[in-house]
Amino acid sequence: MRKNLRAFFEQTFSCAPLFVARAPGRIEFVGNHTDYNGGQVLGAAINRHVWVALAPRRDGRRRLVSAAGGDVVTLPNGGEKKQRGEKSWANYPLGVLVALRAFGRRVPAGFDLAVMSDLPAGAGLSSSAALEVASALVFLAAVGEWDVPPEAVAEIARHAENNFVGVPCGLLDQAVSCLGRRGRLVLVDCAGPRFSTVPLPAGARFWIFNTHAKHALVEGLYAARHRECRSAARALGGPLLAAVTPAILAANRDKLSLLLFRRASHVVGEVARVNATITALQVGNLATAGKWLSASHRSSKRLFENSTTELDFLAARLARTPHVFGARLTGGGFGGAVLALASPKFSAAQARAVVAAYGNKFGTAPDVLRLRAAGGAALVRD
């Protein structure tokens, strides 16, 4: 990938990049929509990355290109003019520049920047955060900031997504991309935020089934859930739902509409499931951890209503397949991918059988990715 990116950069800009960074995508292991509710969430960085290469320019011009397609986006006089239509992908790196300044950091005035990736976009594997984080690392390197703590890079990247791109995501995606550790899950406690890692038992394997089916209104739906959670928390007397215990929720049921009660039940339940999953992993019990993952999916389906028919089919089918411990939608939902936590005995032939069954029902085939828990984002030396 590094060589291909270099060649693509040179072909586009007729010069060599000076700084290259790569940032991993992530899976949300368990803890669905808990992050912006101030709760805990377990994720893992994965061995699929967005790569960003940059060369500073003296004339203040900014040019951005992606190997995923589209023309070069040019800002002749610098600045961070918000892009629309097929150029809107450039808002992720441009948003990072705005965020860096908001955090009191310097940014390079002019630059050429190229992106290349083996991480599917829009699959719930957080290519947006990976693009932000890798961009932040090359921008910081270009002003001589080589060792900004990963926690700070995560905050900057999230600021870009929240305030410039306009997606009210929590800290999970960026934190896991920055803090991933090989063979480990990252636990993000968004109340702090505090970060730690949890070792994955040796017999854990990740399989991702990406449906490519995505609800057309996904951004609006995500924002609507965000609002519903805030309203439920306010009605229960607190700013954030994650602080609500199951007992408080049960005692205050009459303060919530049925809809808000269901949303709150999902978040409160997810917080408990994250803790129960950690306990199971600490004693190496993947079967129990998998049950919590499948329970998380059912809660998404019934209570939070952020699943789809396609995701429900895959999660249910996988959960009853031998050698699969559990399965759930991963990421924001309303489309995207299902994660299966499986044993090493789960085979490619079994995965193909699931794909075939899906094809019979929906007429399309999900992509299958076999992933492992990988390390976090880093500058790459040439």
Nearer to Mg ion, 117 or 126 (CB): 126
C-beta of 128 vs 296, nearer to ligand ADP: 128
315: region left, alpha or beta (phi > 0 left; psi from -120 to 50 alpha):
alpha
Contact 188, 172 (CB under 8 A): yes
Pairing mode, if any, of strands 205-214 and 324-330? unpaired
Query: Residue 113, interface with ligand ADP (CB under 6 A)?
Result: no
Q: Is 123 in the site for ligand ADP (CB under 6 A)?
A: yes
Q: Is 124 in the site for ligand ADP (CB under 6 A)?
A: yes
Helix axes of 150-159 and 172-179: crossing angle, nearest 10 degrees: 150
Does the protein bind ligand ADP through residue 21 (CB under 6 A)? no
Peptide bond into 193 cis (omega under 30): yes
Q: Is 125 in the site for ligand ADP (CB under 6 A)?
A: yes
Q: Tokens at residue 104, please?
A: 């009191």
- Which amino acid, residue 226? H
Binding flag, residue 308, ligand ADP (CB under 6 A): no
The one among 117, 210, 308, 350 contacting ligand ADP by CB under 6 A: 117
Name the residue with the smallest CB distance to Mg ion: 128
Minimum distance, C-beta of residue 245 to ligand ADP, in the bound complex (Å):
31
Binding positions for ligand ADP, 54-93, rule CB under 6 A: 66, 68, 89, 92
Instruction: Please give the Cα distance from 101 to 108 (Å, whole number).
Output: 11
Q: Which helix (H) or strand (E) holds 291?
A: helix 286-299
Q: Does 126 bind ligand ADP (CB under 6 A)?
A: yes
Q: Parallel, antiparallel, or unpaired for β 62-66 and 73-75? A: antiparallel
Contact partner at residue 78 from ligand ADP, Mg ion, none, CB < 5 to 8 Å by partner kind: none
Selecting among 35, 59, 71, 173, the annotated active-site residue is 173
Q: Which does 179 bind (CB under 5 to 8 A by kind): ligand ADP, Mg ion, none?
A: none
Interatomic CA distance for residues 122 and 126, integer angstroms: 7
173 tagged catalytic: yes
Q: Counting contacts by CB under 5 A, is residue 350 touching Mg ion? A: no
Task: With both helix axes pointing from N to C terminus, report the angle between 286-299 and 258-282 in degrees, rounded to the nearest 10.
Answer: 170
Binder of residue 115, out of Mg ion, ligand ADP, none (CB less than 5 to 8 A by kind)? ligand ADP
Cβ-based nearer residue to ligand ADP, 117 or 306: 117
Nearer to ligand ADP, 121 or 235 (CB): 121
Cβ-Cβ contacts under 8 Å for 3 (sequence gap 6 or more): none
Q: Chain-centre distance of CA 287, in angstroms?
A: 25
List the one residue from 47, 91, 128, 307 that touches Mg ion (CB under 5 A). 128
Would you say 287 and 259 are in contact if contact means Cβ atoms under 8 Å apart? Answer: no
CB of 23 to Mg ion, least distance (A): 12
- The window from 15-23, 29-37, 117-125, 147-155 that contacts ligand ADP (CB under 6 A) reads 117-125
Smallest Cα–Cα separation from 53: which of 109, 13, 112?
112
Element housing 47 (H / E): strand 40-57
- Residues 253, 261: contact at Cβ < 8 Å? yes
Closer residue to ligand ADP in complex, CB, 269/336: 336
Across the beta sheet with 324-330, the strand order is 324-330, 335-342, 205-214, 367-371
Nearer to Mg ion, 126 or 296 (CB): 126
Question: Could you tell me which stretch among 123-131, 250-258, 293-301, 320-328 binds Mg ion (CB under 5 A)?
Answer: 123-131
Residues at the contact surface with ligand ADP, assessed by CB under 6 A: 50, 66, 68, 89, 92, 115, 117, 121-128, 131, 331
Residues marked as catalytic:
173
Please give the residue ranges that form the binding site for Mg ion (CB under 5 A): 126, 128
